[in-house]
Amino acid sequence: MSSGPRTVPRIVEVRQNVLKHNDEIARGLRERFHKAGVFVVSLVSSPGSGKTMFLEKTLELLKQRNYRPAALVGDLATDNDAARLARSQAPVKQITTGTLCHLEAAMVRNAVDEWNLEELDFLFIENVGNLVCPSSYDLGEDLRLVLLSVTEGEDKPLKYPTIFNSSDVAVVTKLDLADAVEFDQAAANANVERVRPGMPVIRVSAKTGRGMDEWMDFLKTASKS
Ligand SMILES: Nc1nc2c(ncn2[C@@H]2O[C@H](COP(=O)(O)OP(=O)(O)OP(=O)(O)O)[C@@H](O)[C@H]2O)c(=O)[nH]1
Ligand SMILES: [Mg+2]
């Protein structure tokens, strides 16, 4: 017996249900993180923008300041990034997604399952390198950080507005290469402003350390507010 005409196409309905399920898990995670007093930052960018190198430096600086950071890192394959991050001596776990181009809240939940969250001050979640898929998936984070390297061009915020619009702070990376590629910072700032008015932009080179103090100050303030 027919139940009448469908108002929502099946494929859209399935996608909405998947996202709703993800949001419910993310909400539970956020509550757990808050209760445990851990501040959670997710990192998104295109492949190779410098997420892992920025995180390596961040973990090292936080450890030097006697904070207790940890990191999860998502990739389709390999545990290369986890091995790099583990050099900081912080707890690190790799999540391999196989064919999936983003992390989901359930993957984060499984990954932190054995950790005592009370023993952490910060948790960083490096998403799969991709400027499209990760934008719709809440991971229970407090802060979503989008990275844009100087070698990618200033127009990325305009081409991928959803990921920039769903982020809280933009970090321009590889500043040491800016002159070589004639990076136009004013144009990049204007493009960020068009897509996400008022979003702070921090400029760093993880290689030279330039701008990392400003990032540390920003993180400290954000985690207290
Ligand atoms: N010159 C320079 N190179 C950098 C900087 N940050 C990262 N790199 C280089 O850029 C390349 C990619 O850096 P990763 O940190 O692996 O980038 P990623 O975003 O984690 O890459 P995926 O996880 O594959 O998406 C590496 O060769 C790094 O050494 C920087 O501040 N300056
Ligand atoms: Mg990486």
Residue 49 Cβ < 6 Å to ligand 1: yes
Report the alpha-carbon distance of residue 55 to residue 146 in Å, rounded. Answer: 13
120: its two tokens: 């952490």
Distance from Cα 164 to the centre of ligand 2, integer Å: 19
Residue 6: pLDDT band by 50, 70, 90 thresholds?
A: low
Task: Confirm if 43 and 128 have CB atoms less than 8 A apart.
Answer: no
Is the CB of residue 203 below 6 angstroms from any atom belonging to ligand 1?
A: no
State the average pLDDT for the chain: 94
**Edge-to-edge order in the sheet of strand 122-126:** 92-96, 69-75, 122-126, 39-44, 143-149, 169-173, 201-203
pTM of the entire predicted model:
0.94
209 lines ligand 1 (CB under 6 A): no
For the chain, percent of residues with pLDDT exceeding 90: 91
Picking from 164, 137, 129, the residue whose alpha carbon sits closest to that of residue 53 is: 129
Q: Write the pLDDT tens digit of every residue in 73-102.
A: 999 999 999 999 999 999 999 999 999 999
Number of H helices, E strands in the chain: 8, 7
- Is the CB of 205 inside a 6 Å radius of any atom of ligand 1? yes
What spacing in Å lies between the alpha carbon of 50 and ligand 1's midpoint?
Answer: 3
d(CA 54, CA 81): 12
- Round the CA-based radius of gyration of the chain to a whole number and report it: 18
Q: How far apart are CA 212 and CA 172, in angstroms?
A: 11
pLDDT at residue 33 greater than cutoff 50: yes
Calculate how far, in angstroms, residue 175's C-alpha sits from the geometric centre of ligand 1.
Answer: 12
Beta bridge partners of 203: 172
- Please give the Cα distance from 157 to 115 (Å, whole number): 35
Residue 52 Cβ < 6 Å to ligand 1? yes
Interatomic CA distance for residues 162 and 131, integer angstroms = 9
Quick one: pLDDT band at residue 12, thresholds 50, 70, 90? confident
Q: How far apart are CA 61 and CA 128, in angstroms?
A: 23
Asked whether residue 4 carries a pLDDT value surpassing 80, the answer given is: no
CB atoms within 10 A of CB 134: 27
Mutate to test the pocket of ligand 1, among 44, 45, 46, 52 (most ligand atoms within 8 A of CB): 52
Over residues 117-174, the pLDDT tens digits come to 999 999 999 999 999 999 999 999 999 999 999 999 999 999 999 999 999 999 999 9
Which ligand number lies closest to the CA of residue 76? 1
